[in-house]
Structure 1
Amino acid sequence: MARHNKVTMAFEPEGIRIALTDILPVKQLAPSTKTGRKYKQIAASIREIGLIEPLVVTRQKGHRGAYLLLDGHVRLQILKDFGAQDTMCLIATDDESFTYNKRISRLATIQEHKMILKAIESGVPEDRIAKALDINVAMIRRKRHLLDGICPEVADLLKDRHCPIETFRSLKQLKPIRQVEVAQLMVTMNNYSVPYSRTLLAATPVDQLVDAKKPKIAKGVSPEQMARMEAEMDSLQREMKQVEASYGEDQLNLVIAGAYVSSLLRNEQVVKHLDLHHAEILNEFRRITEVVGDAADGSDEGDLPIVERA
């Protein structure tokens, strides 16, 4: 006979407006919260365009009309500071108070660029966008023109990455083929920092620069050191490509070997034997299973998105 598991809804079907006085926070904000950058950004967003994401609350058992706040403590405080009387809330059916922030990812740089472009195309003035994001208009314009001079292949490689704007500035000084090479190297190394992008720019031969006549700026580096850096960078790229060619197969073999070792360690007799006669091998087996487990489970939680999240 087939079993039918009942699916329980995580939230009540309809959101409702709740008086702020009926919402009980489950934690206290630190005194320094209001001076932080995130608080100011969220406040600017709510002031300019209103509350985007409702608070998440659950009904307080034994107290009719009272609610426990599960997510949105900063938003609640800002609403109180603005003098709001009530707000829209989602009603969770469980009082599990894990942080919802850990289930989201911060807005990537190129995604933010596209969001700004769409807002401008929809008729939203640049100054209002700047106020909503709590940044100046000049920064909005820089973000608006983020991909000017960036080839489509690089934009696709970095579309989900958190790259500083200055990193794109370094990329724009490279010809398309070199842009792709540098972007691939940054993805492989998982390093999108400004110093790293500038190092790759400095190690780029003049004939691969957009402006070949413009001297490369590298303070404190002699021409001989620059030439050696370029040669070492070319060698590193070749080695990286060789590693990439066998990475998939090596990773598969590692997972298979790790699974086999894990199955051995689940056998009590094998573990007892190794513990008595080969303790060093047992320790190595345990380290292997830990490494494989970390590789399988590892993921980026991500930071908060730029607008209204706390």
Structure 2
Amino acid sequence: MIATPKEHAVAAAFERELLTVPFDRIAPLYLVTPQKKSSIKFRQIAASIRDIGIVEPMVIARDPHDPEQYTLLDGHLRFAVLKDLKETDARCLVSTDDEAFTYNKRINRLATIQEHKMILRALSLGVPEARLARALDVNIKTIKEKRRLLDGICDEAAELLKDKQVALSGFQILKKMKPMRQIEAAQLMVAMNKFTINYARSLLAATPETLLVSAATPKQIKGISREQLDLMERESANLEREVRLVEDSYGADHLDLVLARGYISKLMTSDRITRYLSLHHPDYVPAFEKITETEAFAS
């Protein structure tokens, strides 16, 4: 009989059961300042907890010296809200890893389209708009706008922006464009990593009249002549072509740069090579040293 190696047990990242923990046993990593409490995000979390309670439990880790004491890894704003509401305990998820940075570096803010889908889902389940507005700390008009977010946005553009933080006004600007121009504008936003209202307005200003929907207001921008708008349209078209060219070669160029940097770094560790360069090609040495000192390119 052939012996098979023993299977290695996989350590669980969290304890199996949620644990109700008194707040006097939880030590936060930082205190929530009055400035943070005045932020829109804090008010939205507070409104949601007041209306529907805690949706996502806080994450804590046991103190290695005292298992009855805990460190708060994730959920500092929720913790502050609950304390402000005079709560004394909460059900928490107990992590077996006390590395708080692991949680913070993996936070993903809710994208605009994801929030839109969440609202549609809640409405389909019968949640009243007024209750949603209270939970998100916004007025009902905003809920209606978010519900209609993708009306007039083509599927391809929506797919490009599905995980991006784009303001409601940004989508309203895109709706003034025809589908092909919406896709081009979304591609430029993603390529330039710019999702601001002003950038969306500049793309609209650089859009030819033929690519605007018939209901769109004619472009009248104070201080910009028709000739300047025509120039912006041409420059926008050139930029789109250049962005696509860069996208086509970016992967290969990035790999070449990483390999070249690694090769030069290896060369510069050799005393014989550095002496030879210093004697015969002294101009190369500072440039090579600068390359080896540069942080590795982000992957």
State the TM-score bracket (shorter-chain normalisation): 0.7 to 0.9
Ranges in structure 2 where 5+ consecutive residues have no aligned partner: none
Q: What's the offset of the Cα at 1:279?
A: 5.8
User: Which residue in the other structure is 1:241 paired with?
Assistant: 244
Q: Does 1:155 align with 2:131?
A: no
User: Which residue in the other structure is 2:184 paired with?
Assistant: 181
Of residues 247, 254, 258 in structure 2, which corresponds to 1:255? Answer: 258
What residue identity is the alignment partner of 1:104? I
RMSD over aligned Cα atoms: 2.7
Contact 2:268 2:274 in 1 (8 A): yes
Q: What's the offset of the Cα at 1:192?
A: 1.6
Q: Does 1:55 align with 2:58?
A: yes
**Within 5 A, what are the aligned runs for 1:17-28?**
17-28=20-31
What residue identity is the alignment partner of 2:224? V
Q: Does 1:79 align with 2:82?
A: yes
Q: What's the offset of the Cα at 1:217?
A: 2.4
Q: Does 1:10 align with 2:10?
A: no
**Within 5 A, what are the aligned runs for 1:14-163?**
14-63=17-66, 65-98=68-101, 100-163=103-166
User: Could you say what secondary structure the match of 2:94 adopts?
Assistant: strand
User: Which residue in the other structure is 1:191 paired with?
Assistant: 194
What residue identity is the alignment partner of 1:139? T
Count residues with an aligned counterpart.
296
Q: What's the offset of the Cα at 1:294?
A: 2.9
Q: Deviations over 1:46-102 (max 9, x none)?
A: 111111222222223444633232322222221122122321112222433336232
User: Which residue in the other structure is 2:207 paired with?
Assistant: 204
CA distance in 2, matches of 1:209, 1:140: 27
Counting aligned pairs with the same residue, the percent is 49
CA distance in 2, matches of 1:95, 1:156: 37
Q: After the TM superposition, which parts of structure 1 deviate over 6 Å for at least 4 consecutive aligned residues?
A: 1-5
Query: Would the alpha carbon gap of residues 132 and 287 (structure 1) be closer, same or farther in structure 2, given more than 3 Å must change?
Result: farther
Of residues 230, 235, 240 in structure 2, which corresponds to 1:232? Answer: 235
Instruction: Give the stretch that moved more between structures: 81-90 or 241-250.
Output: 241-250
Q: What's the offset of the Cα at 1:291?
A: 5.7
Contact 1:25 1:68 in 2 (8 A): yes
CA distance in 2, matches of 1:62, 1:242: 57
User: Could you say what secondary structure the match of 1:294 adopts?
Assistant: coil
CA distance in 1, matches of 2:183, 2:40: 34
Higher relative contact order (CA 8 A, sep 6+): 1
Q: What's the offset of the Cα at 1:121?
A: 0.8
Query: Would the alpha carbon gap of residues 260 and 211 (structure 1) be closer, same or farther in structure 2, given more than 3 Å must change?
Result: same
TM-score by length of 2: 0.87
CA distance in 2, matches of 1:241, 1:172: 23
User: Could you say what secondary structure the match of 1:210 adopts?
Assistant: coil
Q: What's the offset of the Cα at 1:129?
A: 1.2
Instruction: Give the stretch that moved more between structures: 95-104 or 177-186.
Output: 95-104
CA distance in 1, matches of 2:262, 2:111: 35
Q: Deviations over 1:175-220 (max 9, x none)?
A: 1111111211222212121111111111111111102784212111
What residue identity is the alignment partner of 1:246? S
Q: What's the offset of the Cα at 1:27?
A: 2.9
TM-score by length of 1: 0.84
Contact 1:255 1:292 in 2 (8 A): no
Instruction: Give the stretch that moved more between structures: 222-231 or 90-99.
Output: 90-99
User: Which residue in the other structure is 1:307 paired with?
Assistant: none
Contact 2:176 2:216 in 1 (8 A): no
Contact 2:176 2:215 in 1 (8 A): no
User: Could you say what secondary structure the match of 1:44 adopts?
Assistant: helix
Contact 1:163 1:192 in 2 (8 A): yes
Query: Would the alpha carbon gap of residues 266 and 124 (structure 1) be closer, same or farther in structure 2, given more than 3 Å must change?
Result: farther
